[in-house]
Amino acid sequence: MANEKVNTEIDVTQAMIGYDGKPLTDPTLDEKGKPVLDEAGQPVRENVPFRTIAFMALDAVGKLDADRALGGEKKLMAYKLAHKIATSDKVALLPDEIGFLEQRIGMTFPMNVVGACAMILNPASIKKD
């Protein structure tokens, strides 16, 4: 977790990179929510930016079973953090905001997404051999 007392600037538009070194991708969807297909009939894929993962994790605040006793203070923190991420491509995050994002991402997503987010939020937590 983040222990520094300084802001950390995060580019929330950057693609999430998986443990295999390749960007995490999702199918591109049309206006009806159906996958867009290329000439060969294969789904077109797009990189998943950190911003999308952060929004999904913050949007889940209060919806998970583990959140039953969660007070309004944490929900408001999630809202303010989502607004901060929505209004700028480069965001200065405080250590408690990084910790909150790490916690929420960990509660919401599988390990490949958690690791990809850790490489962005707290690179020192991912040791490369």
Q: Where are the chain's structural domains? A: 8-123
Q: Cα Rg for the chain, rounded, in angstroms?
A: 16
**H-helix or E-strand containing 67?**
none
- Tens of pLDDT, residue by residue over 21-40, are 999 999 999 999 999 999 99
Write the pLDDT tens digit of every residue in 104-119.
999 999 999 999 999 9
- Pick the closest to residue 110 from 67, 43, 48, 68 (CA basis): 48
pTM over 0.85: no
Instruction: Write out pLDDT tens, residues 48-89.
Output: 999 999 999 999 998 888 888 888 888 999 999 999 999 999
